[in-house]
Amino acid sequence: MSVDANRSERDKRWYGRRFGRKLSAARQRLVDELLPQLRVNPAADDGARNPVDWFDPSISEIRMEIGFGAGEHLAGQAAAHPGVGFIGCEPFVNGVAALLDQINRQDLSNIRIFDDDVRLLLPSLPDGCLNRMDILFSDPWPKTRHHRRRISDPGNLVQFARLLAAGGELRFATDQVEFASWTLERMLRNTAFEWLARRPDDWTRAPTDWIETRYQQKARARGLGTTYLRFHRRRREDV
Ligand SMILES: C[S@@+](CC[C@H](N)C(=O)[O-])C[C@H]1O[C@@H](n2cnc3c(N)ncnc32)[C@H](O)[C@@H]1O
């Protein structure tokens, strides 16, 4: 195997944690019984297929949240937009169980779950199949030698651009100023994206439909503000 092949295998390794505290009996039941009904399993499919097929036929707009944590933003968005289909990606089992609890209590029918590393799902999805991607407080990997693990790594941005429909939106939020500018720099270098900032203080203002996440609340309690970055996916013919 070449050095490059080794490097790309290493970059694809999963570095986060999968399990936390033991689940309550009720949440374990949701993982055992409800998750299999909502789980997206690209390995079970014959090649790429359109995610709209995973939802009720009345749904034509699809959004994805990557690394939804405990799922409060995802569940809130799904409740506010019952006509939109949401794909949540999160390998941390306790977070998935927390989302399932909200789906169950609020009787949400427009969420599907990929409970693994999102990079395993994305290549199987067809071009332009997503209308929005939300990446909220993803792991900042502060050490320089770990930067290539960041979700906003240029290789992942190419994949996000492929999957977003023209006019679609990518939202990125973080409490780490250096991570925000690192990401902005790479987003601006990718010609598929246009930064939606309209005012000098744009990145300090939450989008109007914003729902605070658990991570964000904890960061605020430690005195850390949020940087909000929003990007428009340009039409393919304009890139
Ligand atoms: C710092 S937490 C933030 C969680 C949530 N967005 C919030 O704001 O509360 C980052 C989350 O991203 C998830 N994550 C990291 N890498 C991921 C990947 N490759 N695919 C899917 N989720 C990932 C982690 O498991 C973790 O739950």
Looking at the chain, the whole-number percentage of residues with pLDDT higher than 70 is 92
Position 1 pLDDT exceeds 70: no
Q: Which pLDDT does position 38 carry in this prediction?
A: 97
pTM, rounded to two decimals: 0.93
Atom of ligand 1 nearest to the CA of 214: 9
Residue 8's pLDDT band, with cuts at 50, 70 and 90, is low
pLDDT band for position 5 (cuts 50, 70, 90) = very low
6 pLDDT above the threshold of 50: no
Stretch 62-74: mean pLDDT: 97
Q: What is the CA radius of gyration of the chain?
A: 18
pLDDT, tens digit (0-9, with 9 covering 90-100), for 100-135:
999 999 999 999 999 999 999 999 999 999 999 999
Does 138 sit in the ligand 1 pocket, CB within 6 Å?
A: yes
pLDDT at 238: 85
Q: Is the CB of 77 under 6 A from ligand 1?
A: no
Give 159 or 4, the one with higher predicted confidence. Answer: 159
- When divided into structural domains, the chain yields a total of 1
Residue 139 a catalytic site member: yes
Residue 198: pLDDT band (50, 70, 90) is: confident
Q: How far is CA 186 from the centre of its chain?
A: 18
Q: Domain containing 115 — which CATH number?
A: 3.40.50.150
The pLDDT assigned to 236 comes to 83
Q: Are strands 130-136 and 164-174 parallel, antiparallel or unpaired?
A: parallel
Order of strands across the sheet with 111-114? 111-114, 84-89, 61-66, 130-136, 164-174, 227-233, 193-195
Alpha-carbon span 115 to 39, nearest angstrom: 7
Residue 164 predicted with pLDDT over 70: yes
Pocket test for ligand 1, best of 134, 137, 148, 150 (most atoms within 8 A of CB): 137
95 residue type, one letter? G
Range of the domain at 12: 3-40+48-238
Residues 131-153 pLDDT 10s: 999 999 999 999 999 999 999 99
Do 39 and 115 contact (CB within 8 A), yes or no? Answer: yes
Question: In angstroms, how far is the first alpha carbon of the chain from the final one?
Answer: 35
Mean pLDDT of 33-49: 80
Residue 100 main-chain phi, psi, to 5 deg: -60, -35
